Structure 1
Amino acid sequence: MEHLPHCETLLLERNGPALQVTLNRPEVRNAMSLQMVAELATVFTRVEQDPTMRAVVIRGAGGHFCAGGDIRDMAGARGQQAGEGRNDPFYQLNRAFGQMIQQVNESSRIVIAVTEGAVMGGGFGLACVSDLAIAGPTAKFGMPETSLGVIPAQIAPFVVERIGLTQARRLALLGLRIDGAEACSLGIVHQVAESEEQLTGMLGQALDRVRLCAPNATAETKALLHRVGHEPMNQLLDSAAEKFAAAIRGPEGTEGTLAFMQKRPPIWAGNDY
């Protein structure tokens, strides 16, 4: 993105083909306000419009990832005149978050979550829609909604997709909090760092791998993975074969096979791509 959007709740930093998005409300452990939800949606819309952007790294300021929804927004919604059904302010507040997290889930770019401290509620959901999640040594994960008398309405489907129904039931229905090691064993995160230095190293290695993978092929692969289980397998494989043929005849497939034969890195692995 030539011009990063102005954000009040996020810090944005471009690093080559990656954009680091830092949730920046440390005074409330980066609790997600309506404004933050709107700004995240804007950032991901802009990322999709920039072909040079290949990865988005999401982390939190002040030692925490995200403590969930902002209680003050909920109090504000309670103070509004109650509406019925979809006119209810609580419906609109909750659904806005769901639309944003679905947008992040379906982004064609690689989304990396660097989780530290509180990873609760909406923050837990955000981690569950990342392509790669790394936990720092302080990370604690949980779905505390039922202990607050509410439900994990927008994140629950993504948690089930991430770790399966059996484990999602245990976490959601008991309102459990777990550490990074257990989160890794369940598949919520992929790696656990034992120190800040190791966390930085893991992120750097991941971004190095991003550079080695062709951006269009990566986007097509991610879209294909999202289709699994949502349409008949035969139909899906027919479509996938068509996309494979288009890819191998396209510029990335041509360059990739040529680079392999010539024993050199493909052009998208360079710093100027």
Structure 2
Amino acid sequence: MPSLPTCDTLLLKLETGVLHITLNRPDSRNAMSLAMVAELRAVLAAARDDRSLRALVLRGAGGHFCAGGDIKDMASARSAGAAAYRELNRAFGSLLEEAQCVPQVLIAVLEGAVLGGGFGLACVSDIAIAGADAKFGLPETSLGVIPAQIAPFVVKRIGLTQTRRLALTAARFNGAEAERLGLVHFSEADEHAIERRLDETLEQIRQCAPGANAATKALLLASDSEPLDALLDQAAEQFAAAVTGDEGSEGTLAFVQKRAPNWAQ
């Protein structure tokens, strides 16, 4: 695996093909500082091309996922004017784009505060597991600002109608409601249930070929923007390459031999 960057705001743990990334600013409920954004982007870049990594698990330290943007960074940018605010804001949007497109399965474990930027990170995950008592919300308008970089990702996750309601009221809601909205896939009663669900999800991911998962994820994301005819032509080419490639050959042989494929052993 490519060497991971040294981080001051993140804890990194590599375990059986899974990279656990923990936002580690518990004193601020893991508020998203510019330094944290830069470190997350560097970690994602280092992990991107490593096919031995099957999944990335993103969570927060100290009982909270992420309480949004760092007010201290915003205050520091004030003296530099609008250009500094644009840079600060757009850097987070770039992080969301990059997180959404990593070839590995991105799992978000959401506890405590999941606000603003944390809400945005939840929306770009492939699989989201929340505590039933987690606190979700888009508080930006209650602070006199807008969810500028987050909004497009929220709309794609839960739809325009619900996003309008939540963004224009700054309403707070729990993990059970987040599951009802389709923001998260699972709402679990307590920490033990969250860990069981995470372990079960990782075991399911390990049954899937990593190359096939990466190509499938890219295809699903492209389906949101590519013309259908061109997308299906491209998908047919990818299918032919997959079925005749190493993973496809191994998968079909394993099926015939009634054994687990090599990636699931």
TM-score normalised according to structure 1 size? 0.95
**Does residue 55 of structure 1 match 2:55?**
yes
**How many angstroms apart in 2 are the aligned matches of 1:76 and 1:232?**
44
Q: Show CA shifts across 1:242-268 (max 9, x none).
A: 111110000000000111111111001
Q: What residue is the counterpart of 2:87 in the other structure?
A: 92
Equivalent residues of 2:134, 2:175 under 8 A apart: yes
Instruction: Select the residue among 163, 168, 181 that pairs with 1:168.
Output: 163
**How many angstroms apart in 1 are the aligned matches of 2:25 and 2:224?**
37
Q: CA deviation at 1:49?
A: 2.6
What letter matches 2:217 in structure 1?
K
**How many angstroms apart in 1 are the aligned matches of 2:174 and 2:110?**
11
Q: Show CA shifts across 1:144-185 (max 9, x none).
A: 000000000001000001011111111111111110111001
**How many angstroms apart in 2 are the aligned matches of 1:3 and 1:99?**
22
Q: What residue is the counterpart of 1:128 in the other structure?
A: 123
Q: CA deviation at 1:137?
A: 3.2
Instruction: Select the residue among 216, 219, 230 that pairs with 1:221.
Output: 216
**Does residue 154 of structure 1 match 2:149?**
yes
Q: Secondary structure of 1:114's partner?
A: strand
Q: What residue is the counterpart of 1:183 in the other structure?
A: 178
What letter matches 1:211 in structure 2?
R
Q: Show CA shifts across 1:64-110 (max 9, x none).
A: 00000000000000022x25xxxx10000000010011100111110
What letter matches 2:149 in structure 1?
Q
Q: Show CA shifts across 1:22-50 (max 9, x none).
A: 00000000000000000000000000132
Q: Secondary structure of 2:14's partner?
A: strand
Q: Secondary structure of 1:7's partner?
A: coil
Q: What residue is the counterpart of 1:76 in the other structure?
A: 76
**Does residue 18 of structure 1 match 2:13?**
no
Q: CA deviation at 1:235?
A: 1.4
Q: Show CA shifts across 1:125-155 (max 9, x none).
A: 0000000000013311100000000000001
Q: CA deviation at 1:2?
A: 5.6
**How many angstroms apart in 1 are the aligned matches of 2:141 and 2:257?**
58
Identity within the alignment, %: 60
What letter matches 2:221 in structure 1?
H
Instruction: Select the residue among 207, 219, 227 that pairs with 2:202.
Output: 207
Q: What residue is the counterpart of 1:6 in the other structure?
A: 6
Q: Secondary structure of 1:231's partner?
A: coil
Aligned positions, number: 265
Equivalent residues of 2:119, 2:136 under 8 A apart: yes
Q: CA deviation at 1:4?
A: 2.9
Moved over 4 A (4+): none
Does 62-71 or 169-178 show the bigger shift? Answer: 169-178
Q: CA deviation at 1:3?
A: 3.4
**How many angstroms apart in 2 are the aligned matches of 1:237 and 1:192?**
35
Q: What residue is the counterpart of 1:233 in the other structure?
A: 228
Equivalent residues of 2:51, 2:211 under 8 A apart: no
**How many angstroms apart in 2 are the aligned matches of 1:161 and 1:107?**
17
Q: What residue is the counterpart of 1:253 in the other structure?
A: 248
Residues 173 and 15 (structure 1), Cα distance of their counterparts in 2 relative to 1, 3 Å cut: same
Unaligned runs of 5+ in 2: none
TM-score normalised according to structure 2 size? 0.98
Q: CA deviation at 1:5?
A: 1.8
Q: Secondary structure of 2:35's partner?
A: helix
Q: Secondary structure of 1:141's partner?
A: strand
**How many angstroms apart in 2 are the aligned matches of 1:108 and 1:245?**
20
Q: CA deviation at 1:52?
A: 0.8
Q: Secondary structure of 2:202's partner?
A: helix
